[in-house]
Amino acid sequence: MSAKIKAKAIIFDFDNTLVDTHSAINGAYSVIITRLAERFNLGHELLKEKLFAAQKEVIDNIPLEKRNYDRKKVVSRLNKDMNLGLNDKEIDELAELFYYFILEKVTYPEYTESVLEALKTKGKKLGLLTDSDVRPGLKKQRLNKLGFIGLFDVVMIAGETIPQKKNSPIPFLEVSRLLEVKPADILVVGDRMDADIDNAKEAGMMAALIDRFLPPNTGVHQPDVHIHDIKELLDIVE
């Protein structure tokens, strides 16, 4: 059984913490792959392999402080690597297919709202801290699809609400200020060791690593607790 954590506020990450973005991304890439397979008479598996290789090159392998999740760059790299001959307009159209898909496929466990309500009943303040989706306004549109968004006392889109993205403690400290809760009394819940856990700990906050939608990556600091589901917070947070 996990140790109890005393927290006056909880800051949640969004993608792959509250919602299943991993599946949405895979689905969006499948749409792109299907479009290219039909046009160029190429195999789906080959395109999938090359597309994920392109993502690693232009996103995953870039240091967090310089990383940009622009899927147009992924398509552009795929176009170059496979010598497809797509022009800029065609590349942008494929990127738009990606963003439209993840906008429409916002899925999360049906009990999410009840968990958040229970935490509020316990007297906990709730914050949501998430990075921009590159395309201005897209993350806000995705958030507005959530039936439970109104339960959060503070919602911050790092890179839009404030210039600083989630590659430093700055956004975490700003949410702390807006919640009017000291960093030491805040628990951050996120799926990424580097972006969520490390920066939460650097900000002087407690941190819970969640692995429901993605296995954890690597980081410098250790989380205070490791959970699989947000329901576990109801037993952990005092």
The predicted-structure confidence for 177-190, as pLDDT tens digits, reads as follows 999 999 999 999 99
Distance CA(175)–CA(199), nearest Å, equals: 13
> Under DSSP, is residue 212 helix (H, G, I), strand (E, B) or coil?
coil
Residues 186, 196 contacting (CB under 8 angstroms): no
Selected from 3.40.50.1000, 3.40.50.1370, 3.40.50.150, 3.30.70.270, the CATH number assigned to the domain covering 9-19+108-236 reads 3.40.50.1000
Report the 10 Å Cβ neighbour count for 173: 18
Alpha-carbon distance of 128 to 151, in angstroms, equals 10
Q: For residue range 124-168, what is the model confidence (pLDDT) as tens digits?
A: 999 999 999 988 899 999 999 998 999 999 999 999 999 999 999
In whole numbers, what is the pLDDT of the chain averaged over residues? 95
Q: In this structure, what DSSP letter does residue 217 have?
A: -
Model confidence band, residue 2 (pLDDT cutoffs 50, 70, 90): low
Q: How far is CA 35 from the centre of its chain?
A: 26
Where are the chain's structural domains? 9-19+108-236, 23-104
CB distance 142 to 25 below 8 Å = no
Residue-wise pLDDT for 70-121, tens only, equals 999 999 999 999 999 999 999 999 999 999 999 999 899 999 999 999 999 9
What's the pLDDT tens digit per position in 46-74? 999 999 999 999 999 998 888 889 999 99
Cα dihedral 219/222/225/230 (nearest 10): -20
How far is residue 197 CA from its own chain's centroid? 13
